[in-house]
Structure 1
Amino acid sequence: MGECFKLTVPRARGTLREGGTVDEMMLFATMDEFTVPHFVIPTASAQQASSPAVASPATPVTSAEPQGGSSGLDVSSPSQYAVVAVTRSQEPQNTFYTLPLDIHELIFAHLDDLADLTCVGLTSPYLWGVTQDIVHRHYRKHFGRLAGENIVFAGADTLPDDYPPALFLVSESKDLNGRVSTMRDGREDIGPLTLYNMAERLGVRYYGRINIEEKSRNVYNECLRRTTAPDHSQSSWRNAVQRKVGEICVQESLFVPTDQAWLLRNLATKEFVTLGGIALDVKFIHGPFIKGTGFGQVLVSRTCWSSSSSISMCFDGKIHNGVWSGHCFDITTRGRHDKSTKDEKAEWKDVSEEVAAEIAAVWKSEYGPGWQEVAIERAERYKWTILGRVLGGGGTKCWT
């Protein structure tokens, strides 16, 4: 088995949980699912709930009082409060709905549980608009967490003091020598500091796979669970939740639309790669995600760094010393790029053709002149796992 690489954010003390050999990441697995969401700058929700600014307070939904009366609940608990609020908000003297929007925002900022926020929002159309805006903001925060950060696909064979040029500031260089404590098999291990084990230091942040669809489905199920009526199938609370299923259970495309052109941008060199410039076929493009050869493969091919040139492939290029190693990236729409850069003096350069030729050379070294047929066949067979199935998960591992 070849050298294992993993995406690291050395200066920000972070790493992606998954890793793999270069051939696995370039040829046998789609990197887009694991890497692209962390660089995508999401758009505002296209299906926002009613705007709080125009929605007017309305009669709250009716929910049965919890068995034993509300006095039996600990209203200091957000989840308990969310249920009680449905009943108590029906009182005529309740003025909660007349509070200014900024006050509601401050109050709801203390509800960390998305099911709590959703339950409170179900009590009126006005609060629904307020709470869903907050919920959507929470989902958007999962995307683009590595945008603008210096990244490297660090190799396990990287030697101490071997770093991509200009990755670290001069003021940071004093921390690059010496030894580091890492955890292996549940035990603390002390060894020389390298670019690779920087991502295994104590206190490093691990970035897991992003799956907004599963997260929102869990919120929906939790809201259903909080019904208190004896006959759940007939409870007004359950009905209220079910009527909102289409808004509670969201798709990733709500924040990362598939009907727009996306660019992978190198913020350090002012270069970008287009979807059409590297995709095997337009049918494989799904927003910023591409089956076969996508932005994920671009990042691998250009940001790997290792002291060893052994990459478990026939390719004889210097992929182990990527020309973009240590640079900063983001993935944004063409429209936003054009708007944000129209006044910049420095001109951006489209390097899609150059990058596509490099990726083609990697595939051709493995499969010869007919590499495209192999790549297309694999892309057609590949099934998306909807941007990964879990948020978080186990430790770093190599794909097999």
Structure 2
Amino acid sequence: MGQGWQVVNVDRRETLGWWGKLGECLFDGSARSLNRILRVPPPLPSCDNLIFPFKPSALCNEATGRRGALYFPKTAPQSSLLVNLPVEMIWEIYSHMKDFSDIVCLTLTCQPMWNIGRRKIYDWVASFVAFSWAGDRIVCLGDYLLENQISAHEHLLTPEEAVGFNGFDQHDREYNFYNYPFCDVSHLVGTFSAWQLVHGFMLPRRIASLTDWTSYLHSFHCLVDLHYVTPTTQPAVLRNLSRHQYIRESALIAWKQGSGVAHAKNAGIGEIVLSRICFSTNGSVNMVWEGDIHRDVWAGDRLDIVAPDWLERLEGDADAWTDVSDEVLKEVEGIWRSEYEPDGATAN
């Protein structure tokens, strides 16, 4: 069947799930998630600046961007017994709600609930935006990794960690480093946008209890800063903190535009990372490329992705860092040519 691979955070003991054969996941877009998860999170606005407090009769043009005068409605009398409950009991209700759509719908029922529940919405947004593997040890493990060859991955684990990755799970099944029950966090990876909050998570079918979908959208547009989007679209810098090396995304863009390699446009920072962090004691990768990609040089290193102005701030520390953009892109070109132009490709 071929060796399967999973991207693992050694420090957090988390995984992005099984990605299948390397010869497939390297080229099918799976690696794009690494471009998101390795970015240093941007500062998150305060709750009041992202999930606005309800201000009766206040002008809300800035929140909506619409022309003409637009005001929040005046405070209306509340007849529901729910809003008369102690705040602690309402928070208890929220604690049992696992679906984000339900949280938003309850919060939008009335003004008092918005004042309480918007912080629950903010907590969810904060956990989504702030989720990052930046600076952690990352490796893509092959499931043919032989645990009895422990010396093969001494550079990945300390002796104490090697012991900790061996044991039994809650079902008394024995595990070790290559089949450790890592926590699957793949559902947390993606580009957050407040628009997705409205049009993706909150589908009309999920709010059938609301009488007017248009009114719902209007209310949410007034109360949430829909312009907050992360990550930035500027060309970034991929850093290897363990080796003090970096790759400029601007160099990658230039290569894609001028290389003439088939499907080069599909190569991104995520694909570069994946091509350099694979590790297994078995060389089965289901690729034409003949290089030792399964023993690659960055497996287990600490990586992150930062804004390009980091290069401007290097100044006196420039000598401590090495730009390996050209070297790495040469290898990427070899991998891509071997995949899509095998007759004219050579391995490294």
TM over 0.5: yes
Q: CA deviation at 1:127?
A: 10
Give the partner amino acid of 1:275.
E
How far apart in 2 are the matches of 1:336 and 1:115? 38
Indicate if the aligned counterparts of 1:51 and 1:130 stay in contact, CA closer than 8 A. no
2:168 corresponding residue in structure 1 = 181
Quickly say closer, same or farther: Cα 1:295–1:122, change in 2 above 3 A: farther
2:126 corresponding residue in structure 1 = 137
Give the partner amino acid of 2:291.
G
Give the partner amino acid of 2:325.
S
2:141 corresponding residue in structure 1 = 154
How far apart in 1 are the matches of 2:75 and 2:185? 39
What SS class does the counterpart of residue 363 from structure 1 fall into?
Answer: helix
Question: Gapped runs of 5+ residues in structure 1?
Answer: 82-110, 284-289, 373-400
CA-to-partner distance for each residue in 1:193-226, whole Å, 9 max, x for gaps?
A: 2x3212xx2xx3211143435445466569x949
Quickly say closer, same or farther: Cα 1:156–1:56, change in 2 above 3 A: closer
Query: What TM-score comes out, normalization by structure 2 length?
Result: 0.69
Indicate if the aligned counterparts of 2:107 and 2:113 stay in contact, CA closer than 8 A. no
How far apart in 2 are the matches of 1:168 and 1:293? 30
How far apart in 2 are the matches of 1:41 and 1:269? 18
CA-to-partner distance for each residue in 1:135-179, whole Å, 9 max, x for gaps?
A: 65344223x2x1111111001111111543432234434435xx5
Quote the sequence identity (%). Answer: 19
Query: Is residue 2:25 matched to residue 1:25?
Result: yes
Indicate if the aligned counterparts of 2:7 and 2:138 stay in contact, CA closer than 8 A. yes
Indicate if the aligned counterparts of 1:4 and 1:155 stay in contact, CA closer than 8 A. yes
Q: CA deviation at 1:188?
A: 5.1
1:168 corresponding residue in structure 2 = 157
Alignment of 1:1-400 (within 5 A): 1-27=1-27, 29-44=28-43, 51=49, 59=57, 61-62=73-74, 69-71=79-81, 75=85, 76-78=89-91, 115=104, 119=108, 137-142=126-131, 144=132, 146-160=133-147, 161-175=150-164, 179-181=166-168, 189-190=173-174, 193=176, 195-198=177-180, 201=181, 204-209=182-187, 210-211=189-190, 212-213=192-193, 214-217=196-199, 220=202, 225=207, 232-233=211-212, 239=215, 242-245=218-221, 248=224, 250=226, 254-258=229-233, 260-279=234-253, 281=256, 291-336=265-310, 338-339=312-313, 341-342=314-315, 344=317, 347-368=320-341
Indicate if the aligned counterparts of 1:6 and 1:18 stay in contact, CA closer than 8 A. yes
How far apart in 2 are the matches of 1:282 and 1:122? 53
Give the partner amino acid of 1:77.
I
RMSD of aligned residue pairs (Cα, Å): 4.6
Give the partner amino acid of 1:196.
Y
What SS class does the counterpart of residue 256 from structure 1 fall into?
Answer: coil
How far apart in 2 are the matches of 1:70 and 1:38? 43
How far apart in 1 are the matches of 2:223 and 2:272? 35
How far apart in 1 are the matches of 2:107 and 2:249? 36
Q: CA deviation at 1:31?
A: 3.0
Q: CA deviation at 1:32?
A: 3.7
Q: CA deviation at 1:118?
A: 6.2
Count of residue pairs the alignment pairs up: 310
Indicate if the aligned counterparts of 1:58 and 1:124 stay in contact, CA closer than 8 A. no
Q: CA deviation at 1:368?
A: 2.9
How far apart in 2 are the matches of 1:371 and 1:217? 46
